[in-house]
Structure 1
């Protein structure tokens, strides 16, 4: 489902012109709340992350959810996702990951009142949400319609700073088993955005780890999952013992981004470090 929904949402900046956001990603929820992923009950770790993030609710404009919301494709998993994200009391904008089933995801999230907008516009910034899902496979690819949508929106607001959100990572993170599941047409994507001087950053999920690299003036960010973390720089599948987390971002009026990863206390959310896959 790589068509583009054209709806636009307006983001209100704070009094000094900044936009503050949260990124929540890779929740991997099940309809059965007792089910876990590699030793972690995903609904419980997600719930703990949301409770931790509430401290930002009063200052943030929106939350971006960058895919893999469900692990079992169930409508109930998306309802549970929605129930908890709404406790943050701010608009939630979302995109699909490789584990999501859009035929279930879309009606479930819309029925819960979560916005479908794929372009978010403020006085100084725009945020473009892209669909990189390829049905049935873990890697990503941006269709021609998605690339056309991206180009159109970059041309629409040449004077606005731009943050692009997409599930799959664009640049290799240095873990061979993860990097085979990268955005496959990443070079085409990079060539497209290099034609514009208003792309400041690209924000992704998918890799279940923190990553922050600048290339050709564009900052590429990935963030922890709300459940299992993958071990950085590992050629073979390996999980990490870092706690679940999320990302807080400030998009400043000048175009700079300040950001930090937040993690909950590890507590009971310890991954099975002997796992060999999932």
Structure 2
């Protein structure tokens, strides 16, 4: 059964974002020498051990690295300790038929729109372009966003997608950004209710204001990319996740948390992936 509304336990909506898990069918599958299932499990364990409570979990794409149904099963099984509804969307590495193979799921929800309490809504966009790393939003996706913003003008809105709609200042990453992002921002600017946009894809922390909207990207649960690097480069930062508090007045407070320093270090001699 699809869960398309969340009733918060407190005054604000508390969300957990994890992204870019890059899981494989083999249990020891690795990306740039990081065993992604191990790092994913370590992140989930750290979140569980923290005792923090959330209303829902967001997974913003690149769940899988090898397109297999089993990799998505690993994800579904891996998040079970958190006992949260999980809203996911595809990234450039994902394979939608395999994503669908784990549905219906007791936790994973694949929906476009979620009502969050009395004051917020969430719109999930599919920016995948099959076979290439960059993103693009079809006319159907842009129309859906416009429709949800129009239908609920009094609800503050959180928009989710995989690809970054705002350049991060790394030449190699920015060529794989959301293409024709101006079309997205044109829809957003027609309305006054979009408060924040959250994405994955760039394997690093970003939190900037753009045209009055808070735009955030989040560290991967595995490998981190070095910020502001023109050429492919890996960062020494540990895997991480993001916490978001959506307040009734439309403001968003957020923080990125990470595993202990030095955890799951990649092969720094890698020239790409």
TM-score normalised by the chain length of structure 1: 0.94
What is the Cα deviation at residue 62 of structure 1? Answer: 0.2
Asked if 1:67 is matched to 2:61, the reply is yes
* 2:236 is aligned with 1:241: yes
Deviations 1:203-225 (A, max 9, x none): 00000000011012101100000
Which residue of structure 1 aligns with residue 5 of structure 2? 10
Give the conservation status (yes or no) of the 8 Å contact 1:27–1:227.
Answer: yes
1:265 pairs with 2:260: yes
Within 5 Å, give how 1:182-221 maps onto structure 2: 182-221=177-216
Distance of 1:213 and 1:56 partners within structure 2: 27
User: 3-state SS of the aligned residue for 2:163?
Assistant: coil
Q: Distance in 2 between matches of 1:113 and 1:26?
A: 18
Match of 2:167 among 172, 196, 212: 172
Q: Pick one of 103, 106, 114 that aligns with 2:100.
A: 106
Structure-1 residue corresponding to 2:153: 158
- After TM superposition, the runs of 4+ consecutive aligned structure 1 residues lying more than 6 A away are none
Distance across 2 between alignment mates of 1:114 and 1:249: 19
Task: Give the TM-score normalised by the residue count of structure 2.
Answer: 0.96
2:135 maps to: 140
- How far does residue 58 in structure 1 lie from its aligned partner after superposition? 5.4
**Structure 2 unaligned runs (5+)?**
none
CA distance in 1, matches of 2:69, 2:104: 11
3-state DSSP class of the match of 1:237? Answer: coil
CA contact (8 A) 1:35 1:42 kept: yes
Contact 2:168-2:228 within 8 A present in 1 as well:
yes
Structure-2 separation of matches of 1:113 and 1:219: 28
- Unaligned runs of 5+ residues in structure 1 are 1-6
Looking at structure 2, the residues matched to 57 and 13 of structure 1 have their Cα atoms a distance apart, in angstroms, of 17
What SS is found at the alignment partner of 1:145?
Answer: helix
Deviation at 1:57, TM superposition (A): 6.1
CA distances 1:60-111 after superposition (whole Å, capped 9, x unpaired): 1000000000000011100000001121011000000000000111122435
After superposition, the C-alpha distances for 1:6-26 in whole angstroms (9 at most, x for unaligned) are: x6611112342x100000100
1:108 alignment partner, SS class? coil
Which of these residues, 244, 249, 272, is aligned with residue 254 of structure 1? 249
For 2:48, the equivalent position in structure 1 comes to 54
Offset from partner CA, 1:158-192 (integer Å, 9 cap, x none): 00100000000001000000000000021010011
SS of alignment partner, residue 153 of structure 1: helix
CA contact (8 A) 2:84 2:107 kept: no
**Partners of 1:56 and 1:115 in 2: how far apart?**
24
CA shift for structure 1 position 59: 2.0
Q: 1:91 aligns with which of 85, 95, 101?
A: 85
Give yes or no for the alignment of 1:19 onto 2:13.
Answer: yes
When residues 55 and 263 of structure 1 are mapped into structure 2, their CA distance, relative to the original with a 3 A threshold, is: same
Say what the alpha-carbon RMSD is for the aligned residues: 1.4
